[in-house]
Amino acid sequence: MSDLLDPRHEALIEHLFRRAEGLFGFSGFELKPLRRRSRGKGKFHYLRLGYTKPGEKSMTVDLYTPRTMKPRKTDAILRVIAHEFAHHQEPPRRVRQWFRVVWMVHHPHFWKRYKANVALMMRDELLSPYFAR
């Protein structure tokens, strides 16, 4: 298999990522497609759709389905992008649970921000046609 499976799909996602980046008020982020080591074969017990670190300006998103390597729906990829930008807008917090202090990555304020990001993307004139209703 070649390294770039569908260059048109990756170019479209890069264009939509730039639009979402400007929509949320960020700049200078780098979008990387998730590359799997054993592409298209074997069992996948742990599926990661995307990841980012709040201190860095890079975001890795899975653009293809794991086994068949078909392009994911644009709707799903845009939701993952909104999720990853929400990590930069609402970083992890320390929360006291009983007698322990734990780090909550997906706290309630984070989910409010994620829903607001998706709603903002649905209202955008360029991104709204890609969301399935």
Residue pair 91/105 in contact (Cβ under 8 Å)? The answer is no
User: What order of strands is seen across the sheet that includes strand 58-61?
Assistant: 30-33, 58-61, 50-52
- Please identify which residue in the block is written with the tokens 């260059």: 7
pLDDT mean over 115-133: 92
Residue pair 31/17 in contact (Cβ under 8 Å)? The answer is yes
Q: Which domains does the chain have, with CATH numbers?
A: 7-130 (3.30.2010)
pLDDT at 54: 81
Q: What is the pLDDT of residues 78-123, one digit of tens each?
A: 999 999 999 999 998 888 888 999 998 999 999 999 999 999 999 9
pLDDT mean over 4-23: 90
Residue 107 vs residue 45, higher pLDDT:
107
Across all residues in the chain, what is the average pLDDT?
87
pLDDT at 2: 46
Side-chain half-sphere CA neighbours of 29 within 13 A = 28
Residue 1 pLDDT grade (very low, low, confident, very high; cuts 50, 70, 90): very low
- On the question of pLDDT at 4 being above 70, the answer is no
> Where is average pLDDT lowest: 9-23, 41-55, 84-98?
41-55
- On the question of pLDDT at 132 being above 90, the answer is no
Among candidates 13, 12, 126, which has minimal Cα distance to 62?
13
